[in-house]
Chain A
Amino acid sequence: MADDGVNTKVEAVSKATTETIELRTEDGGVFDVDKPVAMEFLILKSFYEDEGRVFDKTSIRLPNVKQLELSKVIEYCTRALEFGAKSAAAAGDKDAERMVRQEREGFEAEFVDELSNEMLKELILAVNFLDIKEMLDFLIRSVANRIRNRSVAYVRQFFDIENDFTPQEEDQIHQENAWAFEGVDAD
């Protein structure tokens, strides 16, 4: 019985019979996104709710988002909604809850593994623009994990940041914190 409930909810998310909205990316991509997923993009949600518009099949242009990013975002949000539904259906049953949690963690690990550093950054910019809180938090955590134990040089390269310290300033900071950095690998 619990399973049926989950299935119907999942179907509601993915079937084409639900309302969709068309999103256009800046590089010419066109996506038909289901309403529940689209409403995760708070930038869209406020657009519709505040303005009191009817949710019809209009097309919205997203100037700061590219195809590749949007497709990834849609993928994540769709799965996140599914997990949310499964979690709700499993509420109270600790084993089932644990399974859903593990499944989600597995998905998230795979999802982030496939992202290059560049892609990760682009996604953060896109998700920040679209204002998707949950996914932003997930991406940020992933970035923090990636730079956690890395050398300063790696971090600079990751974020494509220029070192704007003078050599003297750098030296000084290095002296201050010398004890923290002995043996850091140059990666």
Chain B
Amino acid sequence: MQHHYHHRSQSHLSAGVPTTPGGETQFASEAKLGKKRGSYNCGRCGLPKKGHSCHVAITTAAIESTPTHADSSVAISATSSLSTTRPPPLRQHCSNLRRALSFDDDVEDVRGGFPEPEAAYDEEDLQFDDPFPDPDSGGFPPGCLWEILRRLPPVGLLAAARVCKGWRETARKLWRAAEELRLRVPARAQVGFVGSVLQKCPGLVRLSLRMESDVDATMLACIAFSCPNLEFMEILKSDTAMNRITGDELGRFVADKRCLKSLKMEGCSNLGGFVLCSSSLSTLWLSDLFSLSKTVFNCPNLKEISLEFSRQQNDSTDLTSMVDGLGRYCTRLQNIHMASLRLSHSVVLALTGAQLRWLRMLSLVLGSEITDASVAAIASSYPNLELLDLSGSSISDSGIGMICNVFPETLSRLLLALCPNITSSGIQFVTAQLPLLELMDCGMTICDPNSENPLAGESNDWELKNISKTKLHLVHQKLIIKHNRLKKLSLWGCSGLDALYLNCPELNDLNLNSCKNLHPERLLLQCGNLESVHASGCQELLIEAIESQVSNDFLAMENVLPCKRLADGSKRVHVPHFLSAQSYDDDKKQRVKRQRCNVLVR
């Protein structure tokens, strides 16, 4: 079977599936990991990337000092497509200002885009008994001045230092107290810019740079020189910037920084190969990798690794020996994410050959050469997985059978998007067999990849006269899912899906984008906690059906049961077999205090 998802994917490697809300901290890193998926879903709004225009490449986990932000789900906020070239809304009245630096003001969805680049400060313990204004502080009690300046973005703070000597002193103290800095480096920034900012904050622990100008080893040298206590570093890259850092340079940086715990870097196409030695490193994310020669991961405390390779066809990286080495040295790995077209069964065998006792989350995406045999190997070596993502692979329903055999006690997230050999019975089997499941992604599974639009267009014509019998099994598929814990379900692009019955009381998010052939009268949603339904690319009638099913004043029994008008004018009502009187009462009670559910069509 041909795999046509390649041509639908775009060059961005951005996050795919949203993560479940209410994550425990052990899942926090998984949440971040979970966003580094193949390109079928845009990380910003959860919509498939086809025909889509979100601008940000990689979503970032909030490197924030406030723990509350850590686990917010990201993809649901379809409103924010943050483009860093757009002037921030607060400043529109100054839009004729030409600033060398400008910062996004978006504070709501920190995870959804590059977080607002302000320095977050560790508060100095300033005791101020004297409430009266100190003339040097410009008419304000000194403590107040600190608080005001603390809330300014980096450039504001630099400006504040020019106001008067007292302010310069306070600003200086703030910089020195800074522990976290997020900075956007614009395309025409002068060479010394980052260096001069970094030199002001020697106490920096977390640094996140969004590069719109090219980045090379001078930047690394700058950082190494100015920030001796750096523990978390992230280099993000806009599309136009180039990352010229080589593997040697990166290796030297990592080896020298004795307290570096987390390193994330985009645009790693010039690494060429590297030797990373660090006993402090516990998180490593590298993306846009290409043709790596030798790779050594001498990082015994590495817990989380994410390696995304570029989509170019002639990637010559020897993944098998790379994974082999990884497994040998980094035995504490808990979360592994790899995205590469060259992933194959032998790579999986290298992985399962390693003794990774702590492995809980495994994601091997885009490898069409990953088969059911690979699933068998994974299941036998790592039976305690909590997350498994084999999107883009060739596994079939029998692979699913193995998954359901081995993982029911631990697996809460299963992602099998773009797996063309899976059918609806496989999907239903999963939901029946995995009681802990909270997230499931089956995007682009139940569909006929060869047919662009055989059925779309005619909104009232449900006849399939011209479909050949061989393809019939791909259309008219039905899904009946009843699950107590499922929170997020994605069926985007399942154009073979004809009927859908969902009874999932905990379901928050349902993605039905491009479910072109889902029949409006064969849709039943009994999910009291549903907050958003994505229905872009669906038929008008379907969208209306969804809206009426999730609306609050939806009470009448007749509306709930899908019915079909027969030729003689009578109504035949389809009662799904799981519908019982008891579940109805529960549903009614839930409906009373149901939140507003948004049907998102954009």
Q: Which residues of B contact A150 (CB under 8 A)?
A: 159
Contact of A156 among B100, B149, B164 (CB under 8 A): B164
**B593 interface residue (CB < 8 Å to A):** yes
Contact of B151 among A140, A164, A180 (CB under 8 A): A140
> Which residues of chain B in 476-512 are interfacial with respect to chain A, using CB atoms and an 8 Å cutoff?
none
Contact in complex: A149, B97 (CB < 8 Å): yes
Contact of A180 among B90, B131, B138, B155 (CB under 8 A): B155
Contact in complex: B100, A162 (CB < 8 Å): no
Classify chain A: how many residues form its interface, as a range. Answer: 35 or more
Contact in complex: A149, B94 (CB < 8 Å): yes
Contact in complex: A140, B164 (CB < 8 Å): no
> Which residues of chain B in 266-289 are interfacial with respect to chain A, using CB atoms and an 8 Å cutoff?
none
* Chain A binding surface, main DSSP class: helix
Given A162-B164, A165-B164; A182-B147 close (CB under 8 Å): no
> Which residues of chain B in 417-431 are interfacial with respect to chain A, using CB atoms and an 8 Å cutoff?
none
* Chain B binding surface, main DSSP class: loop
Q: Which of A21-29, A50-58, A69-77, A120-128 contacts B (4 or more CB under 8 A)?
A: A120-128
Query: Per-residue 0/1 for B85-105: is the Cβ within 8 Å of any A Cβ (1 yes, 0 no)?
Result: 000001100101111110000
Q: Which residues of B contact A136 (CB under 8 A)?
A: 144, 147
Contact in complex: A121, B139 (CB < 8 Å): yes
Chain B nearest CB from A161 CB (Å) reads: 4
Given A173-B161, A182-B98, A183-B99; A125-B141 close (CB under 8 Å): yes
Q: Which residues of B contact A121 (CB under 8 A)?
A: 139-140
Of the listed residues A144, A176, A177, A179, the one surrounded by the most CB atoms of chain B closer than 10 A to its CB is A179
Q: Which residues of A contact B96 (CB under 8 A)?
A: 185
Q: Which residues of B contact A165 (CB under 8 A)?
A: 162, 164-165
**B193 interface residue (CB < 8 Å to A):** yes
A38-B204 Cα distance, complex, nearest whole Å? 41
Contact in complex: B138, A160 (CB < 8 Å): yes
A156-B97 Cα distance, complex, nearest whole Å? 20
Contact of A95 among B138, B161, B196, B595 (CB under 8 A): B595
Chain A nearest CB from B441 CB (Å) reads: 25
Q: Which residues of B contact A183 (CB under 8 A)?
A: 97-99
Contact in complex: A93, B97 (CB < 8 Å): no
Q: Which residues of B contact A179 (CB under 8 A)?
A: 100-101, 189-190, 193
Q: How many positions in chain B have a CB within 8 Å of any CB in the partner chain? A: 42
A180-B155 Cα distance, complex, nearest whole Å? 7
Contact in complex: A182, B165 (CB < 8 Å): no
Q: Which residues of A contact B167 (CB under 8 A)?
A: 161
**B117 interface residue (CB < 8 Å to A):** no
**B596 interface residue (CB < 8 Å to A):** yes
Q: Which residues of A contact B196 (CB under 8 A)?
A: 176-177
> Which residues of chain B in 177-230 are interfacial with respect to chain A, using CB atoms and an 8 Å cutoff?
189-190, 193, 196
A136-B143 Cα distance, complex, nearest whole Å? 11
A121-B144 Cα distance, complex, nearest whole Å? 11
Q: Which residues of A contact B144 (CB under 8 A)?
A: 124, 128, 136, 140
- 15 A-B pairs besides A149-B156, A155-B163, A162-B164 with CB distance below 8 A are A93-B593, A94-B595, A128-B141, A129-B131, A144-B149, A144-B152, A149-B91, A152-B162, A155-B160, A156-B163, A164-B164, A174-B162, A177-B161, A179-B101, A183-B98
B contacts, CB < 8 Å to A: 90-91, 94, 96-101, 131, 133, 138-141, 143-144, 147-149, 151-153, 155-156, 158-165, 167-168, 189-190, 193, 196, 593, 595-596
The 12 listed contacts between A and B (C-beta, < 8 Å) are: A93-B593, A121-B140, A124-B140, A128-B131, A128-B144, A141-B151, A148-B153, A149-B94, A163-B163, A164-B164, A173-B162, A179-B100
